[in-house]
Structure 1
Amino acid sequence: MSEYPKDTELFNSIIDGTIQMDEYKNLGQGGFGDVLLYRSKDVTVAIKRVKVGARSKNLMEYNIHNQLHKGENKHVIGLYEVLKTKDFFFFFMEFAASGDLQQKLVATGTLPLTVARDYFTQLINGVDFIHSQGIVHRDLKPANLFFSADGILKIGDFGAATKYRNDKGKNIKVSLFGTNTHWAPEVESAKKFVDGPPMDIWSCGIILIEMIGGCLPWEVASLDNLKNWVSNELDKTALPWKAIDDDVMLLLRNILDVDPETRATIEEIRQDKWFCGKDGAENTNGEMEQPKRDRKRMIQSEIKHSEENVRKRQRVPKKQFGCLNY
């Protein structure tokens, strides 16, 4: 991954405190701060601005993201530079020109099955790389999955990420963290520390349900909410379950295992029948089964068709759906 051309004028305006951030397009904001788009003749970057307050947390995010960036994996948002002023950290990151997965789901409701499988394969390949570096993300969700102009899925926002493997190569427990709609049931039941990788795997399963079923299966993975899932007494006439066929459900049963000890690993996911389907998806080496141009055309065509179907359908009030909505 090549370094981006630095913009001296931008850097100087940040360092001397004269930068006017309200002049830039806002890509998103939250409790962490905000993300803005900067364009010049030579460079286009996303700038994440975070308050200096939580110094150790910000430094950890930088160290983790920087470690992953050096691994040059195409499924991780690139981190080019970090500048610190009196009040803020400025993270200069790769700009994902095609937005995030949540935006796509809001626009289309669901994704065609071949597109969902392609995105899910890319997600698993990215998570596999992150875990290989001894790191867990802990906050995987559609809003943190971005897309380049050519349709490459990229995992971003490592503010919740932490190491699950120490300097001696030994796995260690991690503290509980994440977004309640996507965290694993052990987060609800555990007292303090849990195994890291199974948490990310669970979140991937929830994301797969959202892509195919168009909504979340439950508000939080509490024991009460999981009763019907565990007992296999789901309402197959309501979303998201009525949109999920048997092959996908078999994979989800292994991924959304309430016991982290027996939950599917990445290696087991890659052996799944549905996951191994072709149709332009990446293989386990991150290479395309079809040429990139064909894959991009396939995804754009199927998403366009899905968007047209959404526009044709009469809008139904949210309260009529048997699931959570955005």
Structure 2
Amino acid sequence: MVSAPPGSQIAPLPTNLPFRLVSKTIGQGAYASIRKAVPHNASKPIIAIKFINKEHAFRTGRLTAKQIQMEIVLHKHLGKHANIIHLLGNGEDALWTWIAMELAEGGDLFDKIEADEGVGEDIAHLYFSQLISAVAYMHSMGVAHRDIKPENVLLSAEGDLKLSDFGLAALFKKDGQLRLCNSVCGSPPYIAPEIVSGRRSKRADVLDVGYAANICDIWSCGVVLFVLLVGNTPWDEPTTRSAEFKEYVETGGHTMDELWQQLPSDIVSLLRGMLKVDPQERFTLDEVRTHPWFTRKNPYLTPSGMNANPIGLATQMLSQLRIDFSRPPTQSQRGFSQDTNGDDDDAMDIDTDPRRSSAITLLSSTQPETPSAETPFDWERPPRLSSHDGISASQPTTNNTAYRGQTISSTPCMSQLPASTQDMLSQDPSMTQFSQTPGVPLTFTQAARKFADVLPSYSMARFISPHPLSLLVPLLLAALHRLGIPAPALSQQQMEEAERSGKVSIRVKMADGRKQGLNGHVVIEKAVYDGVGYHEVRFVKASGDPLEWRRFFKNVVLCVGDVVLRPS
């Protein structure tokens, strides 16, 4: 763990760009990072620019210049569709390839879904319908996505689904002729079984007999629907190594798994059709779109397939994000030990590439995990509410507990703070997840004009604390150890530097509950509200599944709940 390094890049970004960069990193692949940009001498439109580091991509040996160009060509070939991120342009210099894209102003969809809870049928139906619309359009253009999973599902400012990331896309039909794909690729929880089980006698990442990539997309869409509904995947991977998948196969889809038991029979009927192990028996897109559950009425869905009630939808989704402090944390992640410099001691124990699995030998990947030493920490900070002056920093002194010689004063509820601070913090959407009474303040919805006004694009994985760094840092480190995620101790010199700068970053590198890579930072930064210093603790995901990151955040919060500022 070290103080967060200054904003930097592996190599200098291009200087002759036809736009002006206006943010730090807002998203990250492996050798790629995404920033916001606007036209020169203008404030809009705001677009997203994906910068791909050529040297790093080449050095890893997993991405060639031809593959980068294939992503651009196929994305450009798709043109414009309401549920697909639109490619606006591209360019390159000696070090970088850049791709200009429509900005998904609503952020990540699955960052806004409660882990292990999911969403109601209406919301799941809306987003599943839009996902199928995007995939059906792609398939009509002869393109299969091959990497449909939560990480690649974004939202517009109005809360409509936007499918992204075409790094693994493939042309499966050209001039009316179908072709099979042979590359082993995808994320194990979402990958179709025919890709995993295929014979590989020549190379571990190439199948002897190809698969129909468009039919594999249907399988992945089925898993995404399951995740929307229950907040978890049905299995870790579609092999007999997964007990859940093995039972699903042995029972012909009539599994007694408790997650499946939560689902209504008409949804189970659709899922069984989409998750047929034999691709020849799997539902076609036409069969999906004519299924009774798919054609059901939905108050959130317009006849044209768009979000009919952006503010109502955002309000409902925000009210479902809830952390129950009465429940203990669950140890669903397994970490890598690190030394005090953040280097991995046993990074080979499990594959950290979110597109690869240690259980599935050598899945090919066009976006391997970036080594931690080459990942610059320059993430954009969420906009914070404007501060005011004139409040007292006093705190209650009762109900104190001790931690390693330090006394933890009871963290005040918002109602114990001055009225001006309460008013300001009540406008922070992330505070609602800590309330034990479900609901969203009326002030959110009364002033809202679009989905993102209620449910913002930035991650809800954050909390505010009135306690000092000297207390928060050891508490967070202890929480990580309790969850099985080793983190290095902080030297006195490092602690002194962190307190001087008011900022510290703890790098976390782990495998999630499904043995997939989950990586990012826990960042503690000073925040001033009404002239009084607090600390904002943000959980910044660099790579991995958004729901698993949400689960990790919740577990840490449950471990350190006494220092989290909460609503009354």
Q: 1:76 to 1:233 in 2, by over 3 A?
A: closer
**Residues 259-314 of structure 1 deviation map (CA, whole Å, 9 limit, x = unaligned):** 1111011100111111111123547x7445xxx5x42233123213312xx23564
Q: 1:219 to 1:81 in 2, by over 3 A?
A: same
Q: Distance in 1 between matches of 2:91 and 2:133?
A: 30
Q: How does 1:186-197 map to 2 (within 5 A)?
A: 186-191=194-199, 192=207, 193-197=210-214
**Residues 93-150 of structure 1 deviation map (CA, whole Å, 9 limit, x = unaligned):** 1000111123123579411221011000000010000000000000000110111011
DSSP 3-state at the match of 1:25: coil
CA positional deviation for 1:25: 2.5
8 Å Cα contact 1:206-1:217 kept in structure 2:
yes
8 Å Cα contact 2:300-2:313 kept in structure 1:
no
What residue number does 1:34 align with? 33
**Residues 191-222 of structure 1 deviation map (CA, whole Å, 9 limit, x = unaligned):** 31201111100110111111111111111111
CA positional deviation for 1:31: 2.3
8 Å Cα contact 1:35-1:49 kept in structure 2:
yes
CA positional deviation for 1:188: 0.9
1:250 equivalent among 240, 248, 269: 269
Q: How does 1:155-304 map to 2 (within 5 A)?
A: 155-166=163-174, 168-175=175-182, 176-191=184-199, 192=207, 193-225=210-242, 226-230=245-249, 231=251, 232=253, 234-236=255-257, 238=258, 240-280=259-299, 282=301, 286-288=304-306, 292=307, 294-304=308-318
Query: One-letter code of the match for 1:159?
Result: G
Query: One-letter code of the match for 1:43?
Result: P
What residue number does 1:51 align with? 53
What residue number does 1:61 align with? 71
8 Å Cα contact 1:121-1:275 kept in structure 2:
yes
Identity of aligned residues (%): 28
Q: Distance in 1 between matches of 2:326 and 2:193?
A: 36
DSSP 3-state at the match of 2:68: helix
Return 169-178 or 115-124, whichever deviates more.
169-178
DSSP 3-state at the match of 1:298: helix
8 Å Cα contact 1:61-1:161 kept in structure 2:
yes
Return 125-134 or 48-57, whichever deviates more.
48-57
Query: One-letter code of the match for 1:172?
Result: R
What residue number does 1:79 align with? 87
CA positional deviation for 1:16: 4.3
8 Å Cα contact 1:101-1:146 kept in structure 2:
yes
Q: 1:206 to 1:316 in 2, by over 3 A?
A: farther
8 Å Cα contact 1:182-1:206 kept in structure 2:
yes
Q: Distance in 2 between matches of 1:269 and 1:154?
A: 20
Q: 1:75 to 1:58 in 2, by over 3 A?
A: same
Q: Distance in 1 between matches of 2:136 and 2:312?
A: 25
Q: Which has the larger radius of gyration?
A: 2
Q: 1:303 to 1:276 in 2, by over 3 A?
A: same
Provide TM-score, normalisation by structure 1. Answer: 0.83
8 Å Cα contact 2:114-2:320 kept in structure 1:
no
What residue number does 2:320 align with? 306
Q: How does 1:20-31 map to 2 (within 5 A)?
A: 24-31=23-30
Number of aligned residue pairs: give it.
299
Q: Distance in 1 between matches of 2:132 and 2:25?
A: 29
What residue number does 2:465 align with? none
DSSP 3-state at the match of 2:167: coil
Query: One-letter code of the match for 1:27?
Result: I
Q: Distance in 2 between matches of 1:77 and 1:108?
A: 28
DSSP 3-state at the match of 1:110: coil
8 Å Cα contact 1:145-1:155 kept in structure 2:
yes
Structure 1 residues without counterparts, runs of 5 or longer: 1-12
Structure 2 residues without counterparts, runs of 5 or longer: 1-12, 59-63, 200-206, 334-512, 515-546, 549-568
Provide TM-score, normalisation by structure 2. Answer: 0.49
